[in-house]
Structure 1
Amino acid sequence: MAVEQYMPDFAVERAYDVTLASLQKEKIKAVFVDLDNTLIAWNNPDGTPEMRQWLHDLQDAGIRVVVVSNNKYDRVKRAVEKFGIDFESRSMKPFTLGIDRALKRFNIKKNEVIMIGDQLMTDIRAAHRAGIRSVLVKPMIQSDSWETQFNRWRERRMMKKIVAKYGPIDYKKEI
């Protein structure tokens, strides 16, 4: 398992630190974002006012936001419908199924999109496999749903390998 496959292109504290200016500088026209612990805390479905403002700013600028989540359709729909954003559920990350579906569905070129997520093992790995740039964020809260806990254990092992090869990941304030 090559460390490079899990190394994010960018790392920021939170998804909302991916600024409109930085997206425009990178010529990004779409943002794929994980749902739980990235866009919203897995136990807070309403999100924060800051998150709602971020979505509003991106949408106003014509940047499409698509949630790409491994969760079931009903769970993702319930979580994002109040924000008026598109989604792909049952994405099967670390495989590229959801990313590929979203690219095709919205006619997005790979060099015009980034994937933002809080997990190396699913979000970052899927982005690399799909050939798109990745942004690692710190999880919004430290507790995870039970399904995610096994991935976190694997992720800690991979993070040690990344640190050994490249040094600690430097979380910036924007991409």
Structure 2
Amino acid sequence: MAFAHDVEGALGSLVWLANSALEPDTLETPEQLAAFYADHGYTGVLRGTRAELEEVRAMRPAFRQLLLASRDDAVDLVNAMLRENAALPQLARHGDTDWHLHAVQDDQRFAVRIAVESAMAMVDVIRADEMSRLGVCADDTCDGVVLDLSRNRSRIFCSTACGNRAAVAAYRARQA
């Protein structure tokens, strides 16, 4: 199942945010929030304040819960996020990005935009019955969320670092 480019992007940023709360925390400064904003192609207002950072950081446990929920539980979480943030989906095109959905205005708080874009992406995952694309890292020492967008559903590690760590451990075990 191939998702639209905006859905894949929103899912990637949602997983990144959920995993940023793991040790070491990778979202501790307004500068790191600005880098996240740029790296994940967000548009609209970014104030770069400590309060804005804390608002985004506070959402991470709910995002992890959403990503690892059953399909039916995810529906309740998504509907609540859309309702609480007064989402109103509309088509938008800007810069090099072709038509895609925005569900809040660009002047909304960044945390609201993240929540709504994440919920809208999860709508597609739920409707396509693709919750199996989300899971927990196969590395026993990691609790990271995995987003598997591969054709053959073969991704089992949340990052290259976890995959490399597992490969090194397997190599060492074979050499012993």
Q: TM-score range by the shorter chain?
A: 0.3 to 0.5
Q: Which has the larger radius of gyration?
A: 2
Q: Which protein is richer in helix relative to its size?
A: 2
Q: Which protein is richer in strand relative to its size?
A: 1
TM-score if structure 1 supplies the norm length? 0.36
TM-score if structure 2 supplies the norm length? 0.36
Bigger RCO (CA 8 Å, 6+ sep): 1
